[in-house]
Amino acid sequence: MKKRIGILTSGGDCPGLNAAIRGVARASYALFDAEIIGIRGGYKGLIEGDYQLMSKYQFSNILTMGGTILGTSRTPFKEMRVVGDDNVDKVAAMKENYEKMGLDCLVTLGGNGTHKTANMLSQEGLNVIGLPKTIDNDIFGTDFTFGFHTAVDIATDVIDRIHTTAASHNRVMVVEIMGNKSGWLTLYAGLAGGADAILIPELPYDIEKVAEVIEKRSIENKNFTIIAVAEGAMDVDEARMKRKDREDKRKEEGTNFISVRIANQLREMLNVEARTVIPGHILRGGSPCAYDRVLSTQFGVHAAQLISNGTYGVTVALEGEKIRHNSLAVIAGVPKPVTPSNYIVRTARSMGVSFCDEEE
Amino acid sequence: MKKRIGILTSGGDCPGLNAAIRGVARASYALFDAEIIGIRGGYKGLIEGDYQLMSKYQFSNILTMGGTILGTSRTPFKEMRVVGDDNVDKVAAMKENYEKMGLDCLVTLGGNGTHKTANMLSQEGLNVIGLPKTIDNDIFGTDFTFGFHTAVDIATDVIDRIHTTAASHNRVMVVEIMGNKSGWLTLYAGLAGGADAILIPELPYDIEKVAEVIEKRSIENKNFTIIAVAEGAMDVDEARMKRKDREDKRKEEGTNFISVRIANQLREMLNVEARTVIPGHILRGGSPCAYDRVLSTQFGVHAAQLISNGTYGVTVALEGEKIRHNSLAVIAGVPKPVTPSNYIVRTARSMGVSFCDEEE
Amino acid sequence: MKKRIGILTSGGDCPGLNAAIRGVARASYALFDAEIIGIRGGYKGLIEGDYQLMSKYQFSNILTMGGTILGTSRTPFKEMRVVGDDNVDKVAAMKENYEKMGLDCLVTLGGNGTHKTANMLSQEGLNVIGLPKTIDNDIFGTDFTFGFHTAVDIATDVIDRIHTTAASHNRVMVVEIMGNKSGWLTLYAGLAGGADAILIPELPYDIEKVAEVIEKRSIENKNFTIIAVAEGAMDVDEARMKRKDREDKRKEEGTNFISVRIANQLREMLNVEARTVIPGHILRGGSPCAYDRVLSTQFGVHAAQLISNGTYGVTVALEGEKIRHNSLAVIAGVPKPVTPSNYIVRTARSMGVSFCDEEE
Amino acid sequence: MKKRIGILTSGGDCPGLNAAIRGVARASYALFDAEIIGIRGGYKGLIEGDYQLMSKYQFSNILTMGGTILGTSRTPFKEMRVVGDDNVDKVAAMKENYEKMGLDCLVTLGGNGTHKTANMLSQEGLNVIGLPKTIDNDIFGTDFTFGFHTAVDIATDVIDRIHTTAASHNRVMVVEIMGNKSGWLTLYAGLAGGADAILIPELPYDIEKVAEVIEKRSIENKNFTIIAVAEGAMDVDEARMKRKDREDKRKEEGTNFISVRIANQLREMLNVEARTVIPGHILRGGSPCAYDRVLSTQFGVHAAQLISNGTYGVTVALEGEKIRHNSLAVIAGVPKPVTPSNYIVRTARSMGVSFCDEEE
């Protein structure tokens, strides 16, 4: 059985992309007579016809490499169906290039946006398989996405380092962690790093309650406080606004970073020394941790098996110790937010970690 | 509601023990009027009455610490019911000290041996809750034990480091990884580190097939080979022997380390430069990884909730994203071996990793 | 011989402080009949009389700890001689507390500011010994300060992680590294991390030349560029201004971070995707690297030997493989800037790294 | 000016080799019209004529890579002048291949053995420049060799991890660290890791004194002991023997590993639980630390400058903050042993670390 497979990586880069690509490739070569075409720079490469036939050896020595050997780009889903100034019908171009390459299947590695486009292409009649990658862990239907645990490791290491400087200087440290819409990364790293408060988009915070955390610790002679805040966190007032209004409000305030605003507020309210730490892109770089190497490889192998069986229109998923798959039509673009009833949220509250939200 | 809780850690030390202890303690203090008694040196401390009332502050700053603040020891289950030269009835002594401490519950952190004793004490009428810790991941009923992923990280790092020296010197490197009866650690680290062959106790190996892996790579111009072997791995002949006979045979051969034997055999068979690496206790030391800190904390909190509800005679377990518990009577001493049908075993085979076993 | 020694840590915290404190203490206990008094929170504690007699065991288990067990604070030298609103004569208070404690010697661990005050106290007649700690490495008379190499390690790790994300996204990444007046940290980390341009306070940059670096790489089909910039870097125009004017100009521009300004400029000039990474306090936290543990210990032991010999008014220094000391009067407050003729600067230029300065 | 440069790496692999190769190459391309020939597998490749002209791009992306892209091998110096069974005059072959390649200079990266051959080739009339690489740090005339500090980092990390398991189990842990003739690595890592005793080849130990260290700690209620031992350490009796006799004695005893012997002895003498840890090749693998990346790069650049100036017959060296060079004739094969008067030895003694040697 001969099959031609196209692979692309789309959206923000993420540890484990190369391990997953290697998994798809090696298992495909093992399971059937595979030809693999690497599409450059995500959907952009599919639209513009930027691709090349890969040789087996190109998948060697990439298991431990960060980033993606295929390159990536962000093409928002909502622009996919729009014909822009360049007068290119992107959907038609992608279908055309799929045919031109003679693909039996397109494998797309990405997050929620990537999956939406993957689903559209599937409904347009292409054979598509998705692999859920994102440091945000916010894809419905899978216990974990790959890249997440590596990012948790790095963010936890940041909080560990901040602990000593916070304690030595009696400071409030506000650590801003990636996650625009999703608080999973901040939640896990905050719990693993022993943060005193965790502020995430899904659980809008009350700055008065943040101040209370610091004051309560001060009474207990704990002279420093660590606050882990997701970049997309918002306070209870902002949470009631429309997104557009919220963005306008922030622009007016001139605060690019939520951590900077919180530190400013706390300084004013409590007269404490408050500092911000914004690790940013550090969280998505470098070699994947062992967990993500195994998960990426398992996802890649599962995709190859699906191709071997002719099962398309699905995305791979982790469920307990098993690898499964879900219909793209069902999960595409469906987020997986942190909810107050999540076991880990309740665990954190039991440990005395405050979310500074309405429930407390 | 006032409750007195005794905690002990038993068996080999393991990353996450302190995080789990902290989890039990903090959540207990939060959920009810808790008094916590630390029992020193595992069951030995329970037998000898070596314990102390802990203060809250003793659970601070231990989240990231390796080892166990309570100390540990190994008292094999089979000796528990035996009255030795010291004429001490160990079971009676443990029950007596449980009464003397006025405990409402005993929390035991350990592996399969620890759980067997925990179950016995439960059947003797004590209130007991188990927490599954082991770098071996071989406890029935839980997706993962805590300590496992930290050990996988360390073992993977070892294999990563060995890669460069193997490639520079055209060597066969045999990396021996802890795991006397269980191959999980070797399997995960081998897959994460890109080992070419993985030899584990559950899948007896044929040394001829190991040699074939090296020869096949040599034909493909790959000048080095990495073999990950669990310390308890055995070849197909040994697997047919009784344990006692196998141990006698090894003693006669004078090989303490399976990796040394394999390297010797390969040198003789293939005239290659073969070296062994035996990281040993490095794999169980140091700070737990973020995954294990979160898991240990969740396990500890769950134990506190069980105590709060008066649910005893169980051990805590991970199932997908949820924390559950199993009856001690059901899981005590039941191992969880790697089986050929495990998804990760099939993943590894699809990736071209050889187990050198009968199936191949 | 009985001696009473006071120790304080002053200025920003830094990896190796605890190792150095331990070094002073252990060697003092070994060399003479020592009593050690820990002064809390830097010179503030000396002024306010916040101190305690330490016991031997307080110096155990701190070798690997980040931060400082004594706490620290920043009291600028220029305010030392000024009597403020609180009407406290700080110098008199420090002398008084020195007498009250019955000290034979005061050991101060800190940077240039700390050494200025140490020298003043020495000239006031106190027995003072300095230990050069700073992640900036800008203290005259010593090859290296402790804390520096740990910070270089962390900053290099940041650049390593940024590499994969830069390459995957075809981005210009501007990494801002601590160092207000000193470029050593940026220089070492930039060279170790393979940065393409290094911008430091001592060598004012021309933004046009920064743009040229990117364009030249683009011509060579290198699709990404890493720029390491010290937080105190300035362009050639700013370098000609007085400090006050420069600060006013920046305030007007509204740019807190030099990396943000540079990224904005490059985006405008070249229409590239440019991102900033600002690790900040991460660089000074956590356990010291092996190099700094050894250096801190050697510095601490040397200080104890000086006390044993009755040699005061000096600061400890590294010279090749030897530990020496310099007169406080000679080195206090004397900075050690990077100069164009430094071997490492010329090394970097030979490697094709651009400083974008006037020389190029 | 056009120059043809041959490069080879010889002896055990070591972190920083690739960084140094890159340094030589990049600086050569920058300083003159360079052609670089990579010689495969050390002197073996020079003897057998196994080499290739390198292109510039082959030196990209290797700064952070462990191992050596050129491969390496061990050809003992004493065999160089011997014509073996293969009837090859190795010296003549090397000279011939040097001519055949049309080299202006041969750059050799290696340790003491490598330098001896380099010196011989220099005296035979070839233009040779040496770069001192070894994790042993035992090359005369340079403060440090590259690779050393990376190995110290890894060995220190091993000791850090062992600490928690030692303390949890009340154990004596004997950590065996590479270093057949040289104790530098064990000394630095032992001091950085807080070992209680350090046993090195240069300072023969008395096992009675090792036992005393443990007993003394026990009296102070310190329930565990860490012993760092170099693989080439020997006791005072062995130190008096001829090398051959010592080796025979060990063979008879059946102890491959000095750590195993010491642990056995301590178990017998003190009835303690003693375990060994033998990290072995882990110490020389993986990415070089920042320090070694900088040092390797500086060494490589200096070599290029020497070539540019036509200075040959030398090896590069670190002296304080400066890069210098020494005559091959002077330093070739001259070891740099640890001596009792080294500052770091005296530092360790002042810290209460025991060498268990005659001086104590």
DSSP per position, A105-154: EEEEEESHHHHHHHHHHHHTT--EEEEEB-TT--BTT-S--BTHHHHHHH
Given this model, what pLDDT does residue B56 score?
94
The pLDDT score that the predictor gives to residue B84 is 79
Element (H, E) at B160: helix B148-169
Q: Which residues of D touch B154 (CB under 8 A)?
A: 161
Task: Give the HSE-up count for residue A92: Cα atoms under 13 Å, Cβ half-sphere.
Answer: 5
CA distance A184 to D25: 46
> D212 with D297, same domain?
no
Inter-chain CB pairs, A–B, below 8 Å: 115
Burial class of residue B85, CB neighbours in 10 A (0-12, 13-18, 19+): exposed
| Residues forming a β-bridge with C197 | C227, C354
Q: Which of D67, D164, D278 sits opposite B165 (nearest CB)?
A: D67
Side chain identity, residue D193: G
Per-residue pLDDT at A75: 82
Which one of C162, C321, C350 makes the best mutation probe of the D interface by having the most chain D beta carbons within 10 Å? Answer: C350
Q: Are residues C171 and C75 in the same domain?
A: no
Of the candidates D13, C224, B27, the residue with the CA atom closest to the CA atom of residue A68: C224
Number of domains forming the structure of chain C: 2
In this structure, are residues D127 and B252 in contact, taking their beta carbons and an 8 Å threshold? no
CB A3 within 8 A of CB A105: yes
At B246 the pLDDT is 87
Which residue from D194, D301, D323 is facing C351, i.e. has the nearest CB? D301
User: Which one-letter amino acid corresponds to residue A193?
Assistant: G
Average the pLDDT over each of A163-167, A355-359, D154-158, D252-256 and give the range with the smallest value: D252-256
The rounded Cα A72 to chain-centroid distance in angstroms is 14
Which amino acid does the sequence have at C359? Answer: E
Q: What's the CA dihedral at B253, B254, B258, B262 to 10 degrees?
A: -60
Can you give the pLDDT at residue C76?
Answer: 85
Distance CA D39, CA A89 (A): 54
CATH number at residue B38: 3.40.50.450
* Of residues A11, A330, A300, A344, the one with CA closest to residue A140: A330
Residue with the bigger pLDDT between B345 and B167: it is: B345
Q: Are A164 and C67 in contact (CB under 8 A)?
A: yes
Residue C357 lies in a domain: no
CA dihedral of D288, D289, D292, D296, whole degrees rounded to 10: 40
| Mean pLDDT, residues D135-148 | 97
Residues within 8 A of A (CB atoms), C 117-156 only: 154
CA distance B24 to B237: 46
Give contacts of A284 with chain C, Cβ < 8 Å: 165
Percent of chain C's residues with pLDDT above 70? 100
Give the end of a domain, one of C254, C269, C284: C284
Q: Tell me, yes or no, whether C84 and C15 share the same domain.
A: yes
pLDDT over threshold 80, residue C254: no
Do D141 and D110 share a domain, yes or no?
A: yes
Question: Are residues A155 and A270 both part of a single domain?
Answer: yes
What confidence category does residue C74 fall into, taking pLDDT thresholds of 50, 70 and 90?
confident
Q: What residue in A sits closest to B149 (Cα-Cα)?
A: A291
Q: How confident is the model at residue A133 (pLDDT cuts 50, 70, 90)?
A: very high
**Three-state secondary structure of D224-261:** CEEEEEECCCCEHHHHHCCHHHHHHHHHHHCCCCHHHH
The pLDDT, as a whole number, for residue A323 is: 96
For the stretch A310-346, pLDDT in tens is 999 999 999 998 999 999 999 998 999 999 999 999 9
Q: Which of A53, A71, A73 shows the shortest CA–CA distance to A114?
A: A73
In a domain, residue C349? The reply is no
Let me know: does B177 contact B201? Beta carbons within 8 Å.
Answer: no
The pLDDT tens digits for D146-165 are 999 999 999 999 999 999 88
Residue A9 in any domain: the answer is yes
CB C52 within 8 A of CB C38: yes
* A345: in domain: no
Distance of CA C259 to the CA centre of its chain: 20
Furthest-apart CA atoms within chain C: distance in Å: 71
Of the three residues D284, D313, D344, the one that is the final residue of a domain is: D284
Q: C–D: how many Cβ contacts below 8 A?
A: 117
Residue D185 lies in a domain: yes
- The model's pLDDT over D318-332, given as tens digits with 9 standing for 90+, comes to 999 899 999 999 999
What is the reported pLDDT for B103?
98
- Sign (positive or negative) of CA dihedral C206, C207, C211, C213: positive
Indicate whether D85 pLDDT > 90. Answer: no
| pLDDT level of residue A59 (50, 70, 90 thresholds) | very high
Give chain B's length: 360
The answer to whether B11 touches B114, Cβ cutoff 8 Å, is: yes
User: What DSSP line would sit under B293-357, residue for residue?
Assistant: HHHHHHHHHHHHHHHHHT--SEEEEEETTEEEEEEHHHHTT-B----TTSHHHHHHHHTT-B--S
Asked whether residue B228 falls in the same domain as residue B252, the answer is yes
Q: Do B144 and B318 touch, CB atoms closer than 8 A?
A: yes
Question: B259 with B126, same domain?
Answer: no
Which is more confidently placed, D333 or B274?
B274
Instruction: List the single residue in C152, C320, C351 with the smallest CB-CB distance to D26.
Output: C351
Domain shared by A102 and A166, yes or no: no
Give the tokens for residue C275.
């991102």
pLDDT band of C78, cuts 50, 70, 90: confident
Cβ pair B42, B315 in contact under 8 A: no
Statement: residue B337 has pLDDT above 90: yes
Task: Report the helix count and the strand count for chain D, using DSSP H and E.
Answer: 13, 11
C-alpha count within 13 angstroms, C-beta hemisphere, residue A53: 9
Residues of A numbered 11-30 whose beta carbons fall under 8 angstroms of chain C's beta carbons: which are they?
12-13, 17
Which amino acid is it at D116? K
Cβ contacts (< 8 Å) between B12 and chain D: which residues? Answer: 169
- For residue C112, the model assigns a pLDDT of 95
Q: Do C154 and A161 touch (CB under 8 A)?
A: yes
- Min Cα distance C164 → chain A (Å) is 5
Which residues in chain D have Cβ-Cβ distances shorter than 8 Å to B163? Answer: 66-67, 285
Q: Which pLDDT score, from 0 to 100, does residue C1 have?
A: 83
Which partners does chain C have (≥3 C-beta pairs < 8 Å)? Answer: A, D
D317 — contact with chain C (CB < 8 Å)?
no
More confident position, C233 or C249: C233
**pTM for the predicted model, two decimal places:** 0.96
Amino acid symbol at D158? V
> Does residue D170 register a pLDDT over 90?
no
Backbone φ and ψ for D98, nearest 5 degrees, come out as -60, -45
Q: How far apart are CA B25 and CA B285, in angstroms?
A: 23
| CA–CA separation, A4 and A12 (whole Å) | 26
What value does the mean pLDDT take over residues B99-107?
Answer: 98
Active site residues of B: 136
Considering the domain architecture, whether residues D266 and D135 belong to the same structural domain is answered as no
Indicate the SS3 state at residue D23: helix
Q: E strand or H helix at D308, and its extent?
A: helix D290-309
Starting from the edge strand earliest in sequence, which strands make up the sheet with D128-132, in order? D51-53, D33-39, D2-9, D105-110, D128-132, D314-319, D322-327
Name the least confident of A38-42, B294-298, C239-243, D296-300.
Answer: C239-243
Low-confidence winner among B95-109, B169-183, D66-80 (lowest mean pLDDT): D66-80
Interface probe with C: pick from A165, A173, A264, A277, most Cβ of C within 10 Å: A165
Q: Is D325 strand, coil or helix?
A: strand
The pLDDT assigned to B256 comes to 76
Res D120: pLDDT: 97
d(CA B299, CA B320): 14
Structure tokens at D341: 């008067």
**Percent of chain A, pLDDT > 70?**
100
Tell whether D297 lies on the interface with C, counting CB pairs under 8 A.
Answer: yes
Domain match, C273 and C293 both = no
Distance from C-alpha of A34 to C-alpha of A39, rounded to nearest angstrom: 16
* Partner-chain residue, chosen from A63, A160, A321, that has the shortest CB–CB distance to B64: A160
C-alpha radius of gyration, chain A, whole number: 22
For residue B303, the one-letter residue type is: A
Give the model's pLDDT for residue A81.
85
Cβ-Cβ contacts under 8 Å, D168 against chain B: 9, 13, 17, 67-68, 71-72
Question: Does residue D343 belong to any structural domain of this protein?
Answer: no
N- to C-terminal Cα separation, chain D: 60
Which chain A residues contact residue C157 at CB under 8 A?
286
> Distance between CA atoms of C349 and C360, rounded to whole angstroms?
9
pLDDT at C49: 97
What's the distance, CA D279 to chain centroid?
15
Closest-CA residue of D relative to C189 is: D290
Give the domain CATH number at D191.
Answer: 3.40.50.460
Percent residues over pLDDT 70 in chain B: 100
Which residues, at least 6 apart from B23, have a Cβ–Cβ distance to it below 8 Å?
Answer: A347, A351, B296, B297, B298, B299, B300, B301, B303, B304
What is the overall mean pLDDT for chain B?
95
Q: State the pLDDT confidence band at B126, using cuts at 50, 70 and 90.
A: very high
Strands D51-53, D33-39: pairing kind: antiparallel
* Residues of chain B contacting residue A294, judged by C-beta atoms under 8 Å apart: 188, 191-192, 344
- Which amino acid appears at position B254 of this protein? G
B41 plus B127 within the same structural domain: yes
Give CA–CA dist B194/D145, Å, rounded. 31
Judged by a CB distance cut-off of 8 A, whether residue C63 touches chain D is yes
Computed from CA positions of residues A144, A149, A152, A156, in that sequence, does the dihedral angle turn out positive or negative? positive
Say what the pLDDT of residue A92 is: 95
- Do the domain assignments include residue C353? no
Q: Would you say residue C345 lies in a domain? A: no
C338-348 residue pLDDT tens:
999 999 999 99
Model confidence at A255: pLDDT above 80: no
D160 touches chain B (CB under 8 A): yes
Residues of chain A with Cβ-Cβ distance to C154 below 8 Å are 161
Q: How far is CA C241 from CA B320, C198, C210, C230, C253, in A?
A: 62, 22, 21, 18, 15
Q: What is the mean pLDDT of chain C?
A: 95
Residue C320, classed as helix, strand or coil, is: coil
| Domain's final residue, options A260, A284, A308 | A284
Residue type, C231: E
Instruction: Please give the pLDDT value at position A250.
Output: 82
Interval C300-306 mean pLDDT: 98
Radius of gyration over alpha carbons of chain C, in Å?
A: 22
Task: Flag whether pLDDT at C249 surpasses 80.
Answer: yes
Q: What is the pLDDT of residues A212-225, one digit of tens each?
A: 999 999 999 998 99
What pLDDT is recorded for position D313? Answer: 98
Q: Per the CB < 8 Å rule, is B169 touching D71?
A: yes
The pLDDT score that the predictor gives to residue C250 is 82
A261-283 average pLDDT score: 95
* Residue of D13, D104, D136, D196 with catalytic role: D136
**How crowded is residue C298: how many other Cβ atoms within 10 Å of its Cβ?**
27
* Domain extent at residue C45: 2-146+288-331
Percent of chain D scoring above 70 in pLDDT: 100
Give catalytic residues of A, as residue numbers.
136
Q: Which of B6-15, C113-122, D247-256 shows the lowest mean pLDDT across its residues?
A: D247-256
Q: A141: which residues sit within 8 A by CB, 6+ positions away?
A: A315, A317, A326, A330, A331, A334, A336
Least confident of C242-256, D66-80, D269-283: C242-256
Tokens 């300084």 appear where? A267
Q: Point out the residue among B152, B304, B320 whose CB comes nearest to the CB of A143.
A: B320
In this structure, the answer to whether residues B155 and B63 fall within a common structural domain is no
CB-nearest partner of D162 from B158, B169, B282:
B282
Cα of B31 to nearest chain D Cα, Å? 29
Cross-sheet strand order for the sheet of C172-177: C197-199, C225-230, C172-177, C274-277
pLDDT at site B85: 80
